[in-house]
Chain A
Amino acid sequence: MGHCERHAVGEEGQHRIIAWVGSEILPHEADLRLWLRRIVGDNEVEDIVQETYCRLASLADVRHIRNGRAYFFQAAKSIVIDRVRRSRVVSIETVAEIDAANVVHDEPNPERIAGARRELARVQRLIAGLPERCRRIVELRKIDGLPQREVARIMEVPETIVENDVVKGLRLILQAIAQEEIAADLALGNVGNNERRDCRYDQ
C-alpha cells in the first residue's frame, strides 16, 4: 500500500519541514479532523491523518506552499478519494460530501491567522495544561533547553522518568492538538493565565 516515498532532503530540509508543520499545519489539525469525521467513520480518521502527514513528510521542499491549511486539506482529500476508489472504507456517496466540503479549506478561520505572539501563547498554553511533574520536565527541556540528562539531575529523578514524562507530555499535547484546539481558541482570553496550570486534558 505504501505510495509514500522517502526523499533525501537533507537535514536542513528536514528541519524546515518539521518547523513548517509545527507552525502551518498542526494548528489546523483539529479542523481537518472535524471535516474528516463528517465524511468517514471515526475509526478511519486517525489513519487518514497519519497518511496525510506522510504526504507532507515526503515533500522535498515546502517553501513554495503559500497556504499550508489549503495544502493540508487538499492532501487529506486526495487520500480520502484514493480510499474511495479502492473502496477501502468510505461509501461512494461521501464523494459528494467531499466536494461540498471544499469551502472548508479555502477560508482559514481568521482566529487562526495568528501573530507570532499568539502562536507562542498557544504553545505555552499547551505546556501549561500538562500535569505537574510532566509540565516541569517539559519546561526544563523546552523552555530552558536543558538536555534530558540534566533535567533528570535537577528534578532528582532517573532519566527513564524524564523520558517517560516526555512521552506522556507529547502524547497529551498531540491529543490537545487533535481535539481541543477549538475549545482552546475560544478560551484565548486565558492566554498566559496561570490559573490554567492545573487543568488536564480531559478525554
Chain B
Amino acid sequence: MNEETADTINEAAIAWVARLDRDPGECDGLDAWLVGDPRRRGAYLRAQAAWTMLDRASLLGDSRQEPDPADEPASADATALDIGGRGVSRRHLIAGSAAIAASLAAGGAWLFLPLGDEHIATATGEIRRVPLADGSVASVNTDSRLSVAIRPEIRRVALAKGEAWFQVAHDRTRPFVVEAGEIRVRAIGTAFSVRRYESGAAVQVTEGIVEAWKRGEEAHPVRIAAGARAFVSETATIPVAPQLASAEIDRKLAWRVGQIILDGDTLAEAAAEFNRYNAQQLVIPDPVLAREKLVGRFRTNEPDAFARAAAGMLGARADIGTTEIRLTRE
C-alpha cells in the first residue's frame, strides 16, 4: 500500500503543477490522486509553492541578458502588439522600431492609405499601434483620442486626450506637428511621446530632437533631445528646461509593449498607473501601505496579478472583486 516512493510522489506532484500551469482546467483526477496518500498532498503544496514563488522574479525587473535581436520572432503584423517582446531596454525598443519600419516597407499596403483625416480612439486598456499614411507609426495608449491629417505641406496630429508615441518618418519638407491643447510639438524625423494633461503636455523624446511650445510662444520653443523629457505648461510663461532621463523614458514608455515597469515607485503611483488601463480599479485605503515602494514588471491588463504579487511582497492582503481590487494590511 505504502510502496510508492517519496520521489515518485514528487515527480507526480511536479507533473500536476506543470499540467495545470498549461491549462488550469485539466484537473480531472487531481483530487483522486491527492487523497490517495497524505504525502501527495504535501508534495503538491510544495511544488505549487515553489512554482508560484517564481512569479516574484517579475518583481525584480529584468536583469536578463538581452536576447540577440536575430532570435526574436519576426512580427509579421505591424499593428499587432509585440506582447512577446522581452527586454524593454533602449536597444531593444530601437531594434523593434527598425523591424516595424522594415515590415512597413515590405508590406507596402500601409503606405497607400487614403490621405484623409484619420480619427483614432482607444478604449480603456487598449493599446494600439497605427501606421500613418506618411509611413510614420503612432502607438496610442489607453483611453486616448487623436486625429491625424497628412497634408502635402504638413503632418498634423491633434491629441484630444491621453497619450501617444510617434515614430516619425523622415520628411524634411513636411513637418510633423502634434497639437495637445495649447501645446505644440514639432519634429522632422524622430521618435517621441506626448501625454496630454489638464494643464499642459509631457513630452518624452526617444530619438532625434523635437521642439515644443505653447501656442503664441512659437518664437521661444523648448528643444528636447533624445533621452530627455519636459513638461510644457499651458499656464506657466517660462518653459521648464528638459531633463535628461533616458532610462526613465524607456520605463515610462513600456506601455507600448503592454507593460508597466516599476522601479521604486510607490504602491499608490503603481495603482494609478494600472487604473489607467483597467476598469477593475486598484484601491489602497491605507496611506502607509500606499507609500510602500515596489520594483517590478507587469502587464498593463493584469491588475490582479500585480495585486497578488504586491500583497505577497508587502505583507498585505488583496481582495479581488470584479470592479475593484482592495489592498489592505491587517
Main secondary structure of the interface of B (DSSP, over half): helix
CB distance from B296 to the nearest CB of A (A): 9
Is the CB–CB distance between A51 and B42 below 8 Å? yes
Number of interface residues of B (CB under 8 A): 60
CA distance A18 to B308 in the complex (A): 12
CB distance from B304 to the nearest CB of A (A): 11
Across the interface, B39 reaches (CB within 8 A) one of A23, A47, A63, A192, namely: A47
Is the CB–CB distance between A120 and B35 below 8 Å? no
Q: B51 at the A/B interface (Cβ < 8 Å)?
A: yes
Is the CB–CB distance between A54 and B42 below 8 Å? yes
Which residues does chain A contribute within 8 Å of B15, judged by CB atoms? 167
Which of B53, B58, B62, B317 has most chain A Cβ within 10 Å? B53
Interface string of A108-144 (1 = CB under 8 A from B): 0000000011011101101100000000001111111
Across the interface, A124 reaches (CB within 8 A) one of B19, B35, B60, B330, namely: B60
CB distance from A203 to the nearest CB of B (A): 13
8 Å CB interface, A136-154 against B:
138-150, 153-154
CA distance A17 to B48 in the complex (A): 10
Number of interface residues of A (CB under 8 A): 68
Is the CB–CB distance between A23 and B53 below 8 Å? yes
Is the CB–CB distance between A54 and B22 below 8 Å? no
Q: A36 at the A/B interface (Cβ < 8 Å)?
A: no
Is the CB–CB distance between A53 and B50 below 8 Å? no
Interface string of B39-50 (1 = CB under 8 A from A): 111111111111
Binding stretch for chain B, among A95-103, A170-178, A182-190: A170-178
Is the CB–CB distance between B14 and A6 below 8 Å? no
CA distance A197 to B66 in the complex (A): 13
Is the CB–CB distance between B299 and A145 below 8 Å? yes
CA distance A164 to B60 in the complex (A): 26
Query: Can you spell out 27 A-B residue pairs with CB atoms less than 8 angstroms apart?
Result: A1-B38, A17-B45, A21-B49, A22-B52, A23-B53, A25-B49, A26-B49, A26-B53, A50-B38, A53-B42, A54-B39, A57-B41, A57-B42, A116-B59, A123-B53, A124-B63, A127-B57, A138-B54, A142-B54, A142-B57, A146-B84, A148-B22, A162-B22, A163-B21, A166-B18, A171-B14, A173-B54
Binding site for B on A (CB under 8 A): 1-4, 6, 15-19, 21-23, 25-26, 29, 46-47, 49-58, 63, 116-117, 119-121, 123-124, 126-127, 138-150, 153-154, 156, 159, 162-164, 166-167, 170-171, 173-174, 177, 192, 194, 197
